[in-house]
Amino acid sequence: MLLEGKTAVITGCLQGIGRAALEIFAENGADVFACCQREDERFTRDIANLSVTCGVSITPVYFDLLDEEAVKNGARFIQKSKKSVDILVNVAGANFDALFHMVTMEQLKRTFTINFFSQVLFTQYITRLMLKHGSGSVINISSIAALDGNPGQLSYASSKAAIIAATKTMSEELGPKGIRVNALAPGVIKTEMTDAMPDDVRSRMISRSELKRIGLPDEVAGVILYLASDLSKYVTGQVIRVDGGIG
C-alpha cells in the first residue's frame, strides 16, 4: 500500500474527484480527514463502511469555503487532533459560467473565494502541521481551462490559473522545508460540474482529446495518489494535465 501510515486531508469529498481520492487513499492505507461542505447521512454511512473495509480512520470535517471562519474552524479541528498530517489535496471548487460581458463582480468574488482565497487560507493552516515534521505533499486541483482558456468560463479559469500561480510560489517557498506542492489540470471529467455543461460544449471538448472520451474521477485520483506517495518524491512545482490528450 502506497500510503500506509500516512494521514491525508482531502476537500470536496462528497462527490466526484474528491470522493474518488478519498476511496483510493483509504484503499492504500491512509487515514483521512474527509472535508465536505455539509453533512450527508449517506456519506457518513459510506465512510464508516470504507473505514472498516480498509482498516483506516476516516474523520469527516464539515465547512463551507464561502465562510472564512468556518474554514479556520475546520483547520483548527484537524490541528487539535494532534495527528501528523502528511498530505493535503485541495479538490473542492465551484463554477459559475457566463460569457465575458455578462460576468458580474459578485460571480467573480464568489468564485475566487471558493476556488482560491479559502484554499490558500486552508493550506496555510494545514502546511503548518507539515512543517512540524519537515515533510509533506500538497496537491491542488486546477483545470485545463486555466491553461487553455474556455469560452464562458472567465471566473472559473481565472481562479484556477491563480491556483497554478500559488502552487509554483508555494513549491519554491516550502520545498526547502521538505514540502512538495504540485497541481493537476483535469480535462472533461465525469462529475456533477461537467454534467451541468451544455451538451455541445462537452462534446466539442471531448472531440479535441486524443482519447475521444470523457475521463473518470478515479483516473484523476490515480494521479493524485502518485503525487501523494513516495513514487513522486522528487516531483514538485509541476502542473500535470489529466485530460486525455486535449491540446
- How many whole angstroms separate alpha carbon 61 and alpha carbon 11? 9
- How many whole angstroms separate alpha carbon 39 and alpha carbon 74? 13
Distance of CA 137 to the CA centre of its chain: 12
Which of 62, 125, 156, 226 is catalytic? The answer is 156
- How many whole angstroms separate alpha carbon 122 and alpha carbon 235? 22
Contact 104, 148 (CB under 8 A): no
- Residue 125 is a catalytic residue: no
- How many whole angstroms separate alpha carbon 77 and alpha carbon 72? 9
- How many whole angstroms separate alpha carbon 141 and alpha carbon 92? 8
- Geometric angle at alpha carbon 84, from 79 and 86, rounded to 5°: 110
Contact 85, 123 (CB under 8 A): no
- How many whole angstroms separate alpha carbon 183 and alpha carbon 48? 29
The residues annotated as belonging to the active site are 156
